[in-house]
Amino acid sequence: MRGQSENPILPLDHLVLRGDGAADALVLREGVLSYKDLRTRVSRLAAWLAREVPEKGARVASWAAKGELTCLLPLAAARAGLVHVPVNPLLKHAQVAHILSDSGAAMLIGTPARLGTLGEDDVPWGCRVVEEPAALAAARELGEDLAPSQADPDELAAILYTSGSTGRPKGVMLSHANLWLGAESVATYLGLESDDRTLAVLPLSFDYGQNQLFSTWHAGGCVVPLDYLVPRDVMKAVERHATTTLAAVPPLWVQLCELDWSPQTAARLRRLTNSGGALTVDLVRRLRALFTSARLFAMYGLTEAFRSTYLDPALIDTHPTSMGKAIPHSEVLVINDMGEIAQDGEEGELVHCGPLVARGYWRDAARTAERFRSAPAASAYGGMAVWSGDRVRRDVDGLLYFVGRRDAMIKSAGNRISPQEIEEAALATGLVAEAVALGLPDERLGQAIHLIVRAAPAASDAEEELPRKLMQELPNFMHPKVIHWRDVMPIGPNGKIDRTRLQAELAA
């Protein structure tokens, strides 16, 4: 367990005040912003937001590729007293409509092409839609500045939507303190410095992706956001921008290891960080052989508590499958089925305590009560804890090892995917009568999505039409890799479709 911050916890927008004014802070396609430039643009975007959405605590959503808006809006919204709701740019209209409705967003700012895919029924009443170029231009034309926020750090700053094993995405409520301490924690254990340059390849709608910005700016470093088409784009950007820090998920690491890196380019990287899925022993060895100058950080986290553990890079060769120990500002306990601290080697549930614990799920008291419960009696922090549902064990040296998940979440290419969301999309086509989505081990993806369906009686063209319909309604990362057609679904003792049997049959 690590203690509280010795430094003051500040509102999120104060991150831009930390860097040297003349130093590079953000590399955009249009040019490089110094910290002085960054402060000005955050201040002016915040002033425009405060004028357009005067209600404190109102939600402002963004749906755009990486760029000036998506990098600045988290801080500008915080300064304006608003709550940022970043929407994954890969989502399609149905998922976006749910997030806008559930969050009660007062405004959606997005790229014109994405906004053009929304129908009248997708945007709830009271939500104003603004095109990204217009928003940025209006902030510049207004030319007003807004002073740094004096908000209570416990006030809500963001809602990040994440899929659960059942149902639609749920909004995780994060305070200024959650995000500030997350930035401080990562900057501390990664050893980030003001001369570091972070290539931000992960989606900024994820907590891991957002932290690429926040932790780098906490250290006074520079961020280079990149939306890449192919892995080779990442390799080229490492060289072009003299990248020192790269965060990724296992499927991308596999692809990067297959490229022909020059020794000079590979040597630019000082640190590699992994989350969103476990590294295999083979992948650790390949990364260590290719990036000989870089420290490799294996990490574990969940949006409800940001990040829980990291493995000291000095131990990655001898303990490649370990999750490590608690990060700064977190307390991680292993609780057995008796509700007590598990013994060394005994399997138990990972419970995360401390100031990184989120504020629960937005407007969802039932699901909040399931996951956010009182900390175990042994907790040094007490208060509310996140009961992860993940099964882990602790060795005699205090290192944690992942055992398995209690829920049916599919984790593919770093994305947490709700099986029910895929099943509902399949059933909504009217082409199938029953549908089950499962994740099967896949070398590149971690887990690949397999969809097992029984055709609707009158759907003679179902096998041809279902893939096309799902491509229209689901984001790419939710598309099934394989669709299995069955005449009859197996039924378990409880009268429900026997998912365990289906999983076993497909895995055989």
pLDDT tens profile 275-310? 887 888 889 999 999 999 999 999 999 899 999 999
Q: Could you tell me the two tokens for 461?
A: 């063209």
For 89-112, letters b (16+ CB in 10 Å) and e give bebbbbbbbbbbebbbbbbbbbbe
Is residue 247 over pLDDT 50?
yes
pLDDT of residue 140: 97
The answer to whether the CB of 506 falls within 8 A of the CB of 449 is no
The larger pLDDT score, comparing residue 166 to residue 479, is at: 479
d(CA 100, CA 124): 7
Nearest Cα neighbor of 347 from 309, 389, 391, 390 is 391
Q: Could you tell me the two tokens for 501?
A: 């049997």
Nearest Cα neighbor of 27 from 194, 199, 195, 190 is 199
Please give the average per-residue pLDDT across 489-494, as a whole number: 76
Is residue 144 over pLDDT 80?
yes
- Reported pTM: 0.88
CATH 3.30.300.30 fits 410-507, yes or no: yes
pLDDT of residue 1: 38
pLDDT of residue 7: 81
pLDDT of residue 162: 87
pLDDT of residue 492: 72
Least confident range from 126-130, 292-296, 434-438: namely: 434-438
**For the chain, what are the domain ranges?**
410-507
pLDDT of residue 2: 42
Q: How confident is the model at residue 313 (pLDDT cuts 50, 70, 90)?
A: very high
- Among all chains, which residue has been given the structure tokens 């083979």? 282
- 3-class secondary structure, 230: coil
The larger pLDDT score, comparing residue 358 to residue 7, is at: 358
* Single-letter amino acid code for the residue at 438: L
* Single-letter amino acid code for the residue at 320: P
- 3-class secondary structure, 260: coil
d(CA 140, CA 265): 38
Is residue 4 over pLDDT 90?
no
Q: How far is CA 112 from CA 63, 109, 130, 135, 359, in A?
A: 10, 9, 9, 11, 33
Element (H or E) spanning 416, and its range? strand 415-417
Long-range contacts from 400-404, C-beta under 8 angstroms, 24+ separation: 400/300, 400/309, 400/322, 400/323, 400/324, 400/325, 400/332, 400/334, 400/350, 401/321, 401/322, 401/323, 402/278, 402/300, 402/321, 402/323, 403/347
Highest mean pLDDT (candidates 168-172, 282-286, 350-354, 390-394): 350-354
Is residue 197 over pLDDT 50?
yes
The answer to whether the CB of 385 falls within 8 A of the CB of 304 is no
d(CA 479, CA 466): 11
The larger pLDDT score, comparing residue 398 to residue 281, is at: 398
d(CA 422, CA 482): 13
Q: Could you tell me the two tokens for 30?
A: 């249009």
* Single-letter amino acid code for the residue at 401: Y
pLDDT of residue 494: 59
The larger pLDDT score, comparing residue 491 to residue 472, is at: 472
- 3-class secondary structure, 196: coil
- Share the mean pLDDT of the chain: 93
Angle of CA points 337, 339, 342, to nearest 5°: 70
pLDDT of residue 411: 86
Please give the average per-residue pLDDT across 496-503, as a whole number: 86
Is residue 405 over pLDDT 90?
no
Share of the chain above pLDDT 70, in %: 97
pLDDT of residue 167: 60
d(CA 3, CA 331): 9
**Number of other residues whose CB lies within 10 A of the CB of residue 465:** 14
Is residue 435 over pLDDT 60?
yes
d(CA 82, CA 61): 10
Least confident range from 39-43, 45-49, 61-65, 92-96: namely: 92-96
Give phi and psi for 331, each to the nearest 5: -125, 125
Task: Give tens-digit pLDDT for 76-99.
Answer: 999 999 999 999 998 999 999 999
